[in-house]
Chains A and B, each alone.
Chain A
Amino acid sequence: MKILITGISGTLARGVAYRLARRGYEVVGIDRRPWPDVPEGVEMHQADIRKRPAEDVFRISRPDALIHMATVTHFTTTTEERYRINLGGTRKLFEYCHEYGVKQAVFVGRHTVYGATPDSPLYHTEDEPPLAGAAFKELADLVAADLYAGSALWRWPELNTAVLRLCYFLGPSRGGTLAGFLSKSRVPTVLGFDPLYQLMHEWDAEEAITLAVEKQLRGVFNVAGPSPVPLSVVCSATGKRAVPIPEPLYSSVLGRFGFPYLPEDAVAHVKYPIVIDNTAFVEATGFVPRYSAKQTMEGFRWN
């Protein structure tokens, strides 16, 4: 079986590529960024998913499955460009899948699409609408991409589509949204709030994505590992100092005084929890995380 991974040079995608190659799958990758030491058994194309060379990969390599991980966040990219890559790119890829007879597509999205509000329940299920776009404009493009990917389920029923909403992950690559938030020695928290954070080990996240392809998953699935822990525990277990900041001052300290940069709307995600229910995914794949929250956070602290 031949599997195409878009955004293969990303931290999580490389791990997925290794896993699949080791299990004997043929892996083809597309990314704008280079991957210099690409392992044996992985065929790498340096291309943009919205451009002609990407379509050529579909036409010439004829992959059986697609893992779409070429999405970008506000940390690296401007709004306009984000819409072009996340929404435009996703649309293109699903069209190629349809056109070139791909049987399985896995869209790797984020659990933050549910949004963080004071009145939203814990343990979001997949039937709840992703509401993040309303309060957090830097996530609106990812919400749209998530919904667009989901629409492939009725648009092209012959294509087995799985939309994964992955919780935060931490691991030795030190990549990902949460790792960025914990990148400095001091972590800005909001005074008087201590939300639950749901995180899993990077390697468990890679395994979950791999399982989604192997089990030919169809539908929308929340992917999470161990039980959530409060942000204060995340900070102390990863060896960071949580610095509570009164809310009115919060946005003005971001990116200064040794704090990481965050968009203004992100403050809701530091005040309120986003916790997802992964029952459906576990039932469909038999996924069992190998690492506890404690192992994940302490591993992140020491490597």
Chain B
Amino acid sequence: MSLLNDPQVRRNVERLPIEFDDYGYDRFGLSRKALIRAYSPMAYIYRHYLKVTAFGLENVPATGRGLIIPNHSGGLGADAAMILTSLILNDEAPRLGQGMAEYFLTRSPFARPALSKLGHLTGLPEHGEQLLNDERLVLVFPEGARGAGKLYKDRYKLVRFGTGFMRLALKTGTPVIPCAFIGGEESFPQMFHIKWLAKLLNGPFVPVAPQLVLFPLPVACQVYYGPPMHFEGDGSEPDHVIRQYVDEVRHAMERLISTGLDARPRAFMFERMPDSDQEQRR
């Protein structure tokens, strides 16, 4: 057992329903070796630092396409990392969630190959479509970077949703799995943003939290997956229809979030969520 070669991660990566070539790469440049190396330390943080508990993993399809739609929080992307780790560490049916990466990251040296070796391609609609048609699981934050940069006073309030994910789901006939990430806002309570530094770095925002470092506090986090939602259509529907579908997903996410918030004994909880609460989901 080592921090870069976790046995559970290794075992589950081998079981992923993805075809790898002679060199351990898939057709999008995803690397099996890179997956093990990146998810192993994530698994450690998942188990021992953020003490994540995942509920409703049975709602994630064991094989075939799916769109995971979670709320965004915590500014650092720790929510994305933990949701992805919960999917890999699901011993029943491990899945790889593939995200859509920010443009500024896929232009940067080192970040670009690192992301693509973990299956996160540039955030283009074509990529979402290609991945779903290849029966992959795609992770989309419909709030975008706006959602990640929520201040602590606005915690767990969903901001405006994009509609791209719904058109993608309709076009490719993909079930939408609503998802809630609880604890992200407390682990990195954003007080304010340094706007001029963000501009200088050409990034979306630079958050400041009480811990002052860009690392989350060890607050226990939970992930809730809701039942898959199927929508009828082909993606060419007028905006008001799409809006209505998006609102359905949004309501499902709000329900999951309030379930998750009610289930916690308190907000700043530093020990793992008690297991008996598992029954509370939906």
Contact = CB atoms under 8 A, between A and B. Distances in A.
Interface of A: 118-119, 121-123, 190-194, 196, 226-230, 233, 237, 247, 273, 292-294
Contacts of A193: 109, 112-113
Given A190-B109, A247-B109, A292 B22 contact: yes
Q: How large is the interface on B (under 10, 10 to 19, 20 to 34, 35 or more residues)?
A: 20 to 34
A119 to B, nearest CB: 6
Contacts of B108: 192
Contact of A118 (B27, B110, B113, B122): B122
B232 interface: no
A293 B113 contact: no
Contacts of A118: 103, 106-107, 112, 122
A230 B122 contact: no
B127 interface: yes
A10 B8 CA distance: 53
Contacts of A119: 103, 106-107, 122, 124
B28 A192 contact: no
B267 to A, nearest CB: 40
Nearest to A118: B107
A196 B112 CA distance: 12
Contacts, number: 65
Given A227-B21, A293-B21, A192 B124 contact: no
B126 interface: yes
Given A228-B29, A229-B25, A192 B109 contact: yes
Contact of B25 (A190, A230, A247, A292): A230
Contacts of B23: 229, 233, 237, 293-294
Given A122-B127, A293-B21, A293-B22, A228 B27 contact: yes
Nearest to B22: A294
Contacts of B31: 230
9 contacts: A118-B107, A121-B122, A121-B124, A122-B130, A192-B108, A192-B112, A228-B29, A273-B29, A294-B23
Nearest to B103: A119
A31 B21 CA distance: 40
A122 B26 CA distance: 13
A199 to B, nearest CB: 13
